[in-house]
Structure 1
């Protein structure tokens, strides 16, 4: 099979949709090398990309109007390249695939812009909704990254259940490699990290709910590391930290590479993720692979990602979160069970299993 990918996020996003795209293509290239995988992108940033499987817009008009190329004119390139299946990795596909004999699959990560419209500008909501609605109506197969996202697609777009499969996300291999004591101590010294700490990772925005963690650990004897892209929301957190003299306890950091980040996960006593809503929640499985117990939200997608041995809380209840943190820190038997059972649970997200599911999708579409 010759499979084309919408690789814009693959090349241009450092996290989130970029990680998803890179991991999916990586596992397919590794486990099913007999297929051809062609990556289509309007541009590439950085150096070191000389792979002849990468396709950029050609010609003056396509180069000048890359967005139109990606959403419409790319179909001519797909025909020339004899693409059997085109996979939109981030909720959109170009127009005209079906009438040109090209099968299509689209991954839908979440419908946050519909679930929480107040978090988005009206123009952004309009654009996202238009793209996602058309993609889910026209694609030969829709893949949701969780049962929660599948339910949302059915609710908001009226799509029949049989048209939507669920294939969970994997994560970067770095989180699956056990870290040595020497690796941890070198990183601790490099960044002056505390000896013991609890961890939160993700963009620092209202939906992720990091402020709640700050308040929950305020009276506990454990430092908190928050790692993620800062927003206006993080300004309020910093003001609270300074107003309450918590500078020695709460540390907001960013800029780590994947190897460093995975080592920090492995160093943490606990991973705390009281997000209000996610399409899946990759940081949860990153923590489980790292052998770090997880405290997360008790509804939505979070039990799907965290499994039966994570600790679930009401994300709006600061006292409940604080109690959960202290309980896990104080109970070494419970903590060890969360670690060992969490590692067992997370094996369902291994690369070979995810690749096999995707190969089944592609094979069925091409049959």
Structure 2
């Protein structure tokens, strides 16, 4: 009997939909990995303190992070009192603890860890990494990717993640091309796992009406208030729009990110207080209702290659107007309308055109069901490829 290839799926928990598409993607992919049997592969759930989630006897390995031990306080105190010795000793302890985690993985028979979010938790253990974007290179130097150590942190993490990974998973062909173009990664090391919609598209998520919008026509933009989300240029476009259609609303949902006060001041300076509704973080049933009842999703973001709201809106029958990014076109093709996110007039023209076409026609975009077989096939081929790479060596990693 052939030995099954054991892959540890790093399990993330504790997030929420306030974290945006990152949480939605992780939750949806984890559900697929939880319920699917993969050819020749055994899935083991791995993570910190996941015994709180998985019952005893389930195929899971719960690890204790070093910050939950007595070491952090001792090491911090030592580094303050004896900086040179403390740092060297701290690094030795961290390496020793990392080796302990590796031994736990090997004892469980796990050969590779698949991190379905960007980042590596255990060093010097074979892994599959996940890559979402190269925003610090591919778009303008917005503060959230370039200032206060963010750029340096992104570069350090990116170099570690992609250079040590057996395979790097991108969410689209556009994402793969970005890695090749900006990071000179060997194309054979990149595997595409297509962007999947969050659980919001599933029937088990009900809808909950947002009462203050019950009788209104509105566009929806669900996005955290980062500068790269480009609320500003959308507001300039919307000011033109309401000159023709003064009763229509524009709805923003999403967390602050220390930029909401500025955006609110822009709304006020443009005289849009009555037409722009800021709901903050909404529940999943409320967001589903917003998608299903909006004129369309409008997404002027600068960051790609792809974005979760596009596929969520499309699968829920909500029309889409969005930035002309390669990944967006790959996601929706002719099913969406596109614009230059730096050109408010283009945004306005697309909003006006779509709205005028929909007057008197209550038909929504066709709601469709997501076909998980595409994702499952991509995962199957990924696991098979990684198996043939990893089994070129055994349990001993220190090979000279």
What TM bracket, shorter-length normalisation? 0.7 to 0.9
- For residue 295 of structure 1, the aligned residue among 299, 321, 341 is 321
Specify whether residues 362 and 70 from structure 1 end up closer, same or farther in structure 2 by C-alpha distance, changes over 3 A only.
farther
The answer to whether structure 1 residue 49 and structure 2 residue 53 are counterparts is yes
What CA distance in whole angstroms lies between the structure 2 residues aligned with 1:136 and 1:148?
17
C-alpha RMSD of the superposition = 3.2
Q: Of the candidates 199, 206, 210, which is equivalent to residue 188 of structure 1?
A: 210
Matched, 1:38 2:41: no
**CA separation in 1, counterparts of 2:44 and 2:104?**
14
1:271-325 per-residue CA deviation (whole Å, 9 max, x = no partner) reads 1001112231011001101101100111332211222221111111111211111
* C-alpha distance in structure 2 between counterparts of 1:122 and 1:329, whole Å: 42
Instruction: Please tell me whether residue 215 in structure 1 is matched to residue 218 in structure 2.
Output: no
Q: Which of 344, 369, 374 is the matching residue for 1:353?
A: 374
1:27 aligned to which of 2, 27, 32: 32
Change (3 A) 1:279 1:13: farther
Q: CA 1:128 to 1:75, structure 2 compared with 1: closer, same or farther past 3 Å?
A: farther
**Residue 199 of structure 1 contacts residue 268 of structure 1 at CA under 8 Å; is this kept in 2?**
yes
Report the secondary structure of 1:212's partner residue: helix
How far residue 59 of structure 1 moved from its aligned partner, in angstroms, is: 7.7
Task: Give 1:207 deviation, angstroms.
Answer: 0.8
How do 1:316-335 and structure 2 match up within 5 A? 316-332=342-358
- Contact 2:301-2:323 at 8 Å conserved across structures: yes
Alignment partners' CA distance in 2, 1:28 and 1:334: 44
Please give the TM-score of this superposition, normalised by the length of structure 1: 0.83
* Helix, strand or coil at the partner of 2:149: helix
Provide the C-alpha distance between the structure 2 equivalents of 1:26 and 1:188, rounded to a whole number of angstroms: 28
Find the residue that maps to 2:117 and give its secondary structure. coil
Q: Which residue of 2 aligns with 1:109?
A: 132
Q: Which residue is 1:77 aligned to?
A: 104
User: In 2, distance between residues paired with 1:70 and 1:205?
Assistant: 39
State the TM-score, normalizing by the size of structure 2.
Answer: 0.77
Which residue of structure 1 lines up, in the alignment, with residue 81 of structure 2?
none
Q: CA deviation at 1:178?
A: 10
Are 2:279 and 1:253 aligned?
Answer: yes
Does residue 1:121 correspond to 2:147, yes or no? Answer: yes
Range 331-340 or range 278-287, more displaced: 331-340
> How far apart are residue 127 of structure 1 and its match?
2.7
**Structure 1 pair 252/71, CA: closer, same or farther in 2 (3 Å)?**
farther
> Match of 1:301, SS?
helix
What secondary structure does 1:232 align onto? coil
Q: Which has the larger radius of gyration?
A: 2
Larger displacement relative to structure 2 (26-35 or 220-229):
26-35
8 Å contact kept, 2:167–2:189: yes
What does residue 96 of structure 1 align with? 124
- Retained in 1: the 8 A contact 2:301–2:341? yes
The answer for unaligned runs of 5 or more in structure 1 is 98-102
In 2: Cα distance, 1:293 partner to 1:60 partner: 46
Alignment CA distance shift 1:141-1:322 (3 Å):
same
Q: Would the alpha carbon gap of residues 118 and 270 (structure 1) be closer, same or farther in structure 2, given more than 3 Å must change?
A: closer
Question: Cα–Cα, structure 1 residues 88 and 71, in superposed 2: closer, same or farther, change >3 Å?
Answer: farther
Shift of 1:160: 1.1
Residue 226 of structure 2, aligned match among 194, 200, 205: 205
